[in-house]
Amino acid sequence: MSDVNDTEVQETPVVVKTTLSITVDGRAHEAEPGQLLIDACEDAGSYVPRFCYHPRMEPVGMCRQCLVEVEGPRGPMMVVSCMTPVAEGQVARTETPSVKRAQEGVLELLLANHPLDCPVCDKGGECPLQDQAFSHGPGESRFVEEKRHYEKPIPISDLVFLDRERCILCDRCTRFADEVAGDPLISFTQRGNNTQVNTFPDEPFASYFSGNTVQICPVGALTAKPYRFKARPWDLEQRESTCTTCSVGCRTVIQSSRDELLRYQGSDSDAVNWGWLCDKGRFNFENVNSEDRLEQPLMHDGSNLVPVAWSQASAAVAEALKTGKAAILGGARGTNEDAFAWARLADALGIEMRDPQLSDGLPAEVFGLPSASIEEAANATTIIVIAPDLKEELPVLYLRLRDAAEKRRSRILEFTAVSTGLTKYSWKSVPTEPGLQASVVRNTLGEAAVREQLGKGNVVVVVGRASLAESADHTVAALSAVLAEVPGAKVLPVVRRGNVRGAIAAGLGSNSNATEILTAAAAGKLDTLVLLGADPIADFPDTDLARRAISAVRNVISLDTFLTESTARASVVLPASAYGEKEGTTTNLEGRVTSVAQKVTARGTSRADWMVAVDIASRLNVDLGFDSVESIQRAMIATSVFAPMADGGANTREGVLIDQPATALPAVSATAGTHSSYDLRLVVSRRMYDKGASTAHSPSLVGLAQRNVLRVNSADLARIGVASGTSVRATSSKASVSVTVEADDSVGRGVAHLTFNAPGINAGDLIDVNASVNDIKVETL
Amino acid sequence: MSRFNDSNVTLAKEIIGRFPRAKSAVIPLLHLAQEQDGYVTRDAMSHIAELVNVTTSEVYGTATFYEMFKFEPIGKYCVNVCTNIACQLVGGWELLEHAEEKLGIKAGSTTDDGLFTIEDVECIAACTEAPAIQVNYRYRYKVTAENLDQLIDDLRAGRLADEIPPHGTLARVRQNTTEAWANTGIEAQAKVDAG
DSSP codes of every residue in A589-643: TT-EEEEE---SPPSTT-B-HHHHHHHHHHHTT-----SSHHHHHHHHHTSTTTG
- Chain A with chain B: Cβ pairs closer than 8 A: 40
CB contact under 8 A, A201 and B58: no
A26: phi > 0 → left, psi -120 to 50 → alpha, else beta; which? left
Find the angle CA(A563)-CA(A565)-CA(A571) to the nearest 5 degrees.
70
Q: How far is CA A720 from each of CA A44, A417, A418, A737, B20, rounded to the nearest angstrom?
A: 69, 19, 19, 17, 40
B56 chain-A contacts, CB cut-off 8 A: 200, 203
- Strand order from edge to edge, sheet including B133-135: B116-121, B77-82, B133-135, B138-140
DSSP reduced 3-state for A483? helix
A725: phi > 0 → left, psi -120 to 50 → alpha, else beta; which? left
Q: Please name which of A208, A196, A322, A215 lies closest in space to residue A263, comparing C-alpha atoms.
A: A215
Per-residue pLDDT reduced to its tens digit, A72-87: 999 999 999 999 999 9
User: pLDDT tier at A464 (50, 70, 90 boundaries)?
Assistant: very high
Contacts of residue B76, defined as CB under 8 A and 6 or more positions apart, other chains included, come to: B38, B114, B115, B116, B166, B167
CB contact under 8 A, B61 and A199: no
Instruction: List the single range of A68-72, A298-302, A330-334, B159-163 with lowest mean pLDDT.
Output: B159-163
Can you tell me the distance from the alpha carbon of A170 to that of A219, in angstroms, rounded to the nearest whole number?
10
DSSP reduced 3-state for B19? coil
Confidence (pTM): 0.93
A191 chain-B contacts, CB cut-off 8 A: 64-67
Find the angle CA(A334)-CA(A336)-CA(A341) to the nearest 5 degrees.
90
Can you tell me the distance from the alpha carbon of A665 to that of A489, in angstroms, rounded to the nearest whole number?
14
Q: How far is CA A215 from each of CA A128, A198, A243, A371, rounded to the nearest angstrom?
A: 12, 18, 16, 32
pLDDT of residue A661: 85
Q: Where are the alpha helices (DSSP H) in A408-447?
A: 437-445
CB A582 within 8 A of CB A598: yes
Q: Among A188, A191, A200, whose Cβ lies nearest the Cβ of B56?
A: A200
Can you tell me the distance from the alpha carbon of A287 to that of A398, in angstroms, rounded to the nearest whole number?
24
A190 chain-B contacts, CB cut-off 8 A: 64-65
φ, ψ for residue A746, nearest 5 deg: -80, -10
Can you tell me the distance from the alpha carbon of A171 to that of A167, in angstroms, rounded to the nearest whole number?
10
Q: Where are the alpha helices (DSSP H) in A335-471?
A: 336-349, 374-377, 390-393, 395-406, 437-445, 448-454
Can you tell me the distance from the alpha carbon of A740 to that of A728, in angstroms, rounded to the nearest whole number?
6
Can you tell me the distance from the alpha carbon of A230 to that of A91, in angstroms, rounded to the nearest whole number?
46
Domains annotated for chain A, with CATH where assigned, are 298-361+500-657 (3.40.50.740), 365-493 (3.40.228.10), 679-780 (2.40.40.20)
Per-residue pLDDT reduced to its tens digit, A667-695: 887 677 777 777 999 999 999 999 999 99
Distance of CA A358 to the CA centre of its chain: 19
Per-residue pLDDT reduced to its tens digit, A572-627: 999 999 999 999 999 999 999 999 999 999 999 999 999 999 999 999 999 999 99
Can you tell me the distance from the alpha carbon of B115 to that of B105, in angstroms, rounded to the nearest whole number?
12
CB A71 within 8 A of CB A91: yes
Distance of CA A179 to the CA centre of its chain: 19
pLDDT higher than threshold 50 for residue A2: no
Can you tell me the distance from the alpha carbon of A711 to that of A739, in angstroms, rounded to the nearest whole number?
10
A185 chain-B contacts, CB cut-off 8 A: 55, 57
Instruction: List the single range of A251-260, A421-430, B172-181 with lowest mean pLDDT.
Output: B172-181
B54 chain-A contacts, CB cut-off 8 A: 184
CB A454 within 8 A of CB A486: yes
B45 chain-A contacts, CB cut-off 8 A: 200
For CA atoms A475, A476, A482, A487, give the dihedral sign. Answer: positive
Pairing mode of beta strands B133-135, A572-575? unpaired
User: pLDDT tier at A8 (50, 70, 90 boundaries)?
Assistant: low
DSSP, res A419? -
φ, ψ for residue B136, nearest 5 deg: 50, 40
Per-residue pLDDT reduced to its tens digit, A688-744: 999 999 999 999 999 999 999 999 999 999 999 999 999 999 999 999 999 999 999
Pairing mode of beta strands A27-31, A20-24? antiparallel
Q: Please name which of A694, A681, A697, A685 lies closest in space to residue A752, comparing C-alpha atoms.
A: A681
DSSP reduced 3-state for A361? coil
DSSP reduced 3-state for A524? coil
Q: Is B104 on the interface with A (CB under 8 A)?
A: no
By C-alpha distance, the chain B residue nearest A194 is B65
User: pLDDT tier at B188 (50, 70, 90 boundaries)?
Assistant: very low
Can you tell me the distance from the alpha carbon of A159 to that of A279, in angstroms, rounded to the nearest whole number?
9
Q: What is the mean pLDDT of residues B68-82?
A: 94
Q: What percent of chain A lies above the pLDDT cut of 70?
A: 98
CB A353 within 8 A of CB A328: yes
Can you tell me the distance from the alpha carbon of A502 to that of A510, in angstroms, rounded to the nearest whole number?
14
Distance of CA B189 to the CA centre of its chain: 29
Q: Where are the alpha helices (DSSP H) in A80-177?
A: 97-112, 128-136, 172-175
pLDDT of residue A502: 97
How would you class A45 by CB atoms within 10 Å of its CB: exposed for 0-12, middle for 13-18, buried for 19 or more? exposed
Q: How far is CA A352 from each of CA A511, A526, A604, A613, A614, rounded to the nearest angstrom?
A: 8, 12, 32, 16, 19
Q: Among B56, B61, B66, whose Cβ lies nearest the Cβ of A203?
A: B56
User: pLDDT tier at A161 (50, 70, 90 boundaries)?
Assistant: very high
Per-residue pLDDT reduced to its tens digit, A53-64: 999 999 999 999
CB A388 within 8 A of CB A465: yes
Pairing mode of beta strands A251-257, A237-242? antiparallel
Pairing mode of beta strands A656-657, A592-596? antiparallel
> CB A621: neighbour CB atoms within 10 A?
8
Residues facing A676 on adjacent strands = none
CA distance B54 to chain A (A): 8
By C-alpha distance, the chain B residue nearest A192 is B65
Domains annotated for chain B, with CATH where assigned, are 6-71+169-187 (1.10.10.1590), 77-157 (3.40.30.10)
Per-residue pLDDT reduced to its tens digit, A367-379: 999 999 999 999 9
State the average pLDDT for chain A. Answer: 95
CA distance B2 to chain A (A): 15
By C-alpha distance, the chain B residue nearest A175 is B58
Q: Is B56 on the interface with A (CB under 8 A)?
A: yes
Q: Among B45, B57, B64, whose Cβ lies nearest the Cβ of A186?
A: B57
Could you give the count of Cα atoms lying within 13 Å of A261 in the half-sphere of its Cβ? Answer: 29
Contacts of residue A612, defined as CB under 8 A and 6 or more positions apart, other chains included, come to: A314, A559, A574, A576
Find the angle CA(A238)-CA(A331)-CA(A628) to the nearest 5 degrees.
55
Contacts of residue A47, defined as CB under 8 A and 6 or more positions apart, other chains included, come to: A41
Q: Among B42, B46, B58, whose Cβ lies nearest the Cβ of A184?
A: B58
Q: What percent of chain B lies above the pLDDT cut of 90?
A: 72
